[in-house]
Amino acid sequence: ETGVTQSPTHLIKTRGQQVTLRCSSQSGHNTVSWYQQALGQGPQFIFQYYREEENGRGNFPPRFSGLQFPNYSSELNVNALELDDSAVYLCASRSSGPGDIQYFGAGTRLSVL
Amino acid sequence: GDSVTQMEGPVTLSEEAFLTINCTYTATGYPSLFWYVQYPGEGLQLLLKATKADDKGSNKGFEATYRKETTSFHLEKGSVQVSDSAVYFCALSGEGFKTIFGAGTRLFVKA
């Protein structure tokens, strides 16, 4: 148990739809990162939030957006879904510095048809 | 930009065999290095870490040494068990904030 929970576990959407994924961080962690893990690949960094502000972004288009709330829970929103968005989306939380341990949730598997 | 390259799998070993999974990295500055493990049906778990050159991370019989001169962080275990079957990811976290992962190496251990 990492203390990081994600919901839903699995969902199916069709191309063009919008989706919201949720993450509850481990207690005391003020930094959350989101990753996309395509089948058979390593996780790819999407973005990071620190104290409700985005402070880093990977090579993902603007239709990937996020929010972090005062209680440090967070959301990942994806608009105009494409088939290639099918992947497992991972949330990870940590307390502060880049060398600190990240704790990962079990992920949300998104299938886009 | 920063990157991580690890050996392709799958790697298939018999129980009690010696394991090496190679990992090399490219980064500016002095990144922290990690090995994560993903067991079937589970999320990513940190296996071990090293934050500076010549540090050795170790956990559950696994070891990896941060080699700055060869930009490597190879994972080793002296005697693998069936329960070690999983996907192993090498990763780095640099002066920025994101963690960069390798593509993963799947390990199968036969009884």
Rounded CA Rg of chain B:
13
Share of chain B above pLDDT 90, in %: 80
Q: Which of A99, A39, A2 is nearest to B34 (CA)?
A: A99
CB–CB contact A43 B94 (8 Å): no
pLDDT tier at B47, thresholds 50, 70, 90: very high
Residue B22 has phi, psi (to 5 degrees) of -80, 145
pLDDT digits (tens, 9 = 90+) for B7-42: 988 999 999 999 999 999 999 888 999 999 999 878
Q: Name chain B contacts of A30, Cβ cutoff 8 Å.
A: none
Interface test with B, best of A30, A104, A108, A109 (most B CBs within 10 A): A104
What digits encode the pLDDT tens for the residues A42-72?
999 999 998 899 988 999 999 999 999 988 8
pLDDT category of residue A94 using cuts at 50, 70 and 90: confident
For chain B, say whether A106 makes contact (Cβ under 8 Å). Answer: yes
pLDDT in tens, B58-89: 999 999 999 999 999 999 999 999 999 999 99
d(CA A33, CA A92): 5
Spatial distance between the Cα atoms of B75 and B104, rounded to a whole number of angstroms: 12
Q: Is B95 on the interface with A (CB under 8 A)?
A: yes
A67 burial level (CB within 10 Å; 0-12, 13-18, 19+): middle
Structure tokens of B23? 């990992």
End-to-end CA distance of chain A: give it in Å, rounded. 32
Say whether A33 and B98 touch across the interface (CB within 8 A): yes
